[in-house]
Amino acid sequence: MEVRIERIEDINAIFQVNVAAFGRKEEAILVDRLRDIESTFSFVAVEAKKVVGHIFYSPVEIEGQCSDNLFILGLAPMAVLPEHQRQGIGSLLIRYSLEECTGLGYKAVVVLGHPEFYSRFGFVPAKEKGLRCEYKVPDDVFMVLELENGTLENCIGTVKYRSEFREVE
């Protein structure tokens, strides 16, 4: 299994992975709309020359009281082909991509996801760090991971995703 940054020749396969994983096209279309925006990152898991998993990050903003030089990413979407799920591919994608994001100087990552899954990687409810989501979601599913300890000290506010996310229902 190889995990790497996406290549142009992966784009169609990434679209198909997202459609298969989510059972609809909205997340795949979202990735296509966000792909060329500055500070987005897209990684793939490849097995036997086939893209079997995908993870995507895009910049988010905090409306409220926070440091001006706080670079935070939103993890969304993450997808693995159904026949390859529950084999550790999602975990591999997360570990690899979080290391890359840390190396690029990002300070924190937010995610809307399953608490029992994401807590394994150190994500905690964002509410514990003074952050809330712009969308009406349960507190336990909106999570954050500080890539640098103490990054979110004295940070209070609402996390705002890019406008393209509002088109996904």
Q: Is the pLDDT of residue 117 over 70?
A: yes
Beta bridge pairs of residue 65? 156
What is the Cα–Cα distance from 166 to 149, expressed in whole angstroms? 31
pLDDT band, very low/low/confident/very high, at 167 (cuts 50, 70, 90): confident
Per-residue model confidence (pLDDT) at position 168:
79
Report which of 98, 50, 44, 77 is spatially closest to residue 164, judged by C-alpha positions.
77
What is the mean pLDDT of the segment spanning 94-113? 96
Does residue 23 lie within any of the structural domains? yes
Higher pLDDT, 120 or 64: 120
d(CA 58, CA 71): 11
**Other CB atoms closer than 10 Å to residue 107's CB: what's the count?**
20
For 2-37, write each residue's pLDDT tens digit.
999 999 999 999 999 999 999 999 999 999 999 989
Query: DSSP state, 38?
Result: T
Residue 167 lies inside a defined structural domain of this protein: no
Residue 29 confidence (pLDDT): 95
Q: Which helix (H) or strand (E) holds 20?
A: helix 11-22
CA distances from 105 to 60, 73, 151 (A): 15, 11, 12
For the cut 90, the answer to whether the pLDDT of residue 82 exceeds it is yes
Is 32 contained in some domain? yes
Report the CATH number that the domain containing residue 145 is assigned in CATH: 3.40.630.30
In a domain, 168, yes or no: no
Average pLDDT over residues 33-45: 94
Residue 126 lies in a domain: yes
Confidence of residue 71 (pLDDT cuts 50, 70, 90): confident
Whether 133 is in a domain gets the answer yes
Whether 85 is covered by a domain: the verdict is yes
Q: Quick one: which of 80, 96, 91 has its CA closest to 41?
A: 96
Distances (CA, A) of 27 to 54, 59, 76: 11, 16, 9
> What value does the mean pLDDT of the chain take?
94
Number of domains in the chain: 1
Domain contains 95: yes
Owning domain of residue 133: 2-162
pLDDT category, 169, cuts 50, 70, 90? low
pLDDT at 69 over 90: no
Q: What is the pLDDT of residue 43?
A: 98
